[in-house]
Amino acid sequence: MHNYKHLKIWVRSMDLSEMIYRETVNFPSNEKFGLTSQLRRAATSIPSNIAEGTSRQSQKEFKHFLSISLGSCFEVNTQLELAKRFNLINFENTEKIFHEIDQLEKMIIGFMKSIKE
């Protein structure tokens, strides 16, 4: 069992969630229940599933929750791409976030590979 607060992937995913929350503050109010909500839920799902996975009794279960976190990274990536297409977020900010998502995905995949079942 891991202490999730010491995992780099958890710390980075918390940073990503914070970035998403800060960027979506500026989204129009008519997106409150649309992309704003979806982006925030997907972003918070990443560290939440990492944390939940650490409480599981087997490495196989832990990997399953890491896999869910990885899927949430792809969700955030897709939703952010939509926000960019709808001009809800500026190019410079999206590039920073896309870079962070890419790095986090690589870290999660690498961590998953290191776990022996």
Q: In CATH, which superfamily holds the domain spanning 4-114?
A: 23S rRNA-intervening sequence (1.20.1440.60)
Give the pLDDT confidence of 86-102 residue by residue, as tens digits.
Answer: 999 988 888 999 999 99
Residues 6+ apart with CB under 8 A from 104: 9, 12, 13, 16, 46, 73
Give me the residue label for tokens 């909500």: 37
pLDDT tens readout for residues 1-32: 678 999 999 999 999 999 999 999 989 999 88
pLDDT digits (tens, 9 = 90+) for 52-67: 999 998 999 999 999 9
Domain boundaries, the chain: 4-114
